[in-house]
Amino acid sequence: MPKQYKFSGKRVDCYFDVDFSFINEKLQKEKTVFITDENILRLHAEKFSGWKTIIIKAGEEYKNQQTVDSIINQLIHLQADRKCFLVGIGGGVITDITGFVASIFMRGIKFAFVPTSILAMVDAGIGGKNGIDVGVYKNLVGVINHPEFLLYDYSFLETLPDEEWVNGFAEIIKHACIKDREMFQFIEKHSLVNFQSSLSETASIIQKNASIKYEVVSQDEKETGDRKLLNFGHTIGHAIENTAKLAHGQAISIGMVAACRISEAINHFSKTDTKRVAGLLLKYELPVAFSFNKKKTWDILLHDKKKSGSEMSFIVLDRIGKGSVKSISLDHLYKIFNSL
Ligand SMILES: NC(=O)c1ccc[n+]([C@@H]2O[C@H](COP(=O)([O-])OP(=O)(O)OC[C@H]3O[C@@H](n4cnc5c(N)ncnc54)[C@H](O)[C@@H]3O)[C@@H](O)[C@H]2O)c1
Ligand SMILES: [Zn+2]
């Protein structure tokens, strides 16, 4: 039985821990088109046998309109019609682009995701945001639309590169910081190697994290309250990601430590807890400090969409396991930012 989540009346079925072959029971080969990237296809070729498949190049640089056009042309070539069902099998790039294409092709066809990276399983595949990048502007064009279902087959993770495990755990630690103290303690007791060698432990932590994201999003679809908490570490993180060549997970890791320091300054968060968060990030091979260009980073941060007038809403921690949204004056934030 799937776990069911509701978004504005739309039901999303979540099949946690099922074999990929379950898709045979859900969909018909004639009416279905898979979308994946060349890495997933190469490593899991047997799963695609007999299914119409559109393959795109792997990497964020292909999450753009040109790839969308190419997918649409291939759908036309495959004589796809309104009844065609798309399945995105891959990381967040694939889930984002599949959801976007499905939402615009023939004004919208049905779709589903088989997330294959930890990040897509706990974050990108959930919440209905789908889209593409335009030049340097990430996720500038997109839609909100939910898949019919998600299928989690954890055996995909056996081929996930180490750096992608690290990236995924940055979001898992974020969820623990803002919502789940017990999970924080659980992750502290484990290590990346533990999780990589035990798919059952990984399955359970992924399901927990997916549920955290589902619950936060379904309670606040318009992003007026709790959903903002998911941006913990992301305001400064995104600005650093844009100025330095860092992976998203690494950038938000540095962003989370900075946000903990800001929480010390404006929210009585304890120094000991900042050290604890940094310790956990380091344990999962994530950086906690980085000599970045403060001026450039600040300029980018000012363009952040969360800014309103001379104030900015910033995600802080009250304590480990509880995040909150605080409005902070830009002058004050600038002073703290400069002292980091
Ligand atoms: N829609 C949302 O709410 C949301 C949220 C967070 C992130 N995102 C988006 O997600 C994207 C990042 O997702 P990602 O980190 O999964 O990136 P990705 O899709 O680029 O995958 C990372 C790399 O891992 C490879 N890969 C994925 N699964 C694999 C597997 N099982 N075995 C071997 N290789 C595998 C991919 O081929 C790729 O090279 C970004 O574009 C980001 O904007 C979207
Ligand atoms: Zn993120």
- SS3 of residue 317 by DSSP: strand
Residues with CB under 6 A from ligand 1: 37, 39-40, 43, 58-60, 63, 90-94, 96, 116-117, 119-120, 123-124, 127, 129, 138-139, 156-157, 159-161, 164, 167
pLDDT for residue 137:
85
Number of helices (H), then strands (E), in the chain: 15, 12
Instruction: Output the CA 209–ligand 2 centroid distance in Å.
Output: 13
- In one-letter notation, the amino acid at residue 154 is Y
In order along its 340 residues, the chain shows pLDDT tens digits of: 899 999 888 999 999 999 999 999 999 999 999 999 999 999 999 999 999 999 999 999 999 999 999 999 999 999 999 999 999 999 999 999 999 999 999 999 999 999 999 999 999 999 999 999 998 888 999 999 999 999 999 999 999 999 999 999 999 999 999 999 999 999 999 999 999 999 999 999 999 999 999 999 998 888 888 899 999 999 999 989 878 889 999 999 999 999 999 999 999 999 999 999 999 999 999 999 878 788 888 888 887 655 567 888 899 999 999 999 999 999 989 988 888 8
The token duo for 234 is 């992301």
Alpha carbon nearest to ligand 1 atom 3, residue: 124
- SS3 of residue 153 by DSSP: coil
Nearby residues of 282 by Cβ (< 8 Å), 6 or more positions away: 288
CB 128 within 8 A of CB 215: no
Alpha carbon nearest to ligand 1 atom 34, residue: 160
CB 266 within 8 A of CB 222: no
Instruction: Output the CA 335–ligand 1 centroid distance in Å.
Output: 35
Q: Which ligand is nearest to the CA of 156?
A: 1
pTM as predicted:
0.96
Q: Which of 227, 59, 228 is nearest to 133 (CA)?
A: 59
CB 258 within 8 A of CB 236: yes
CB 217 within 8 A of CB 313: no
Alpha carbon nearest to ligand 1 atom 21, residue: 91
Q: Which ligand is nearest to the CA of 233?
A: 2
CB atoms < 10 A from the CB of 308, how many?
Answer: 9
Instruction: Output the CA 96–ligand 1 centroid distance in Å.
Output: 9
Alpha carbon nearest to ligand 1 atom 41, residue: 93
Write down the residue that tokens 């619950």 correspond to.
215
CB atoms < 10 A from the CB of 33, how many?
Answer: 23
47-to-37, 244, 268 alpha-carbon distances in Å:
13, 37, 51
Alpha carbon nearest to ligand 1 atom 9, residue: 92
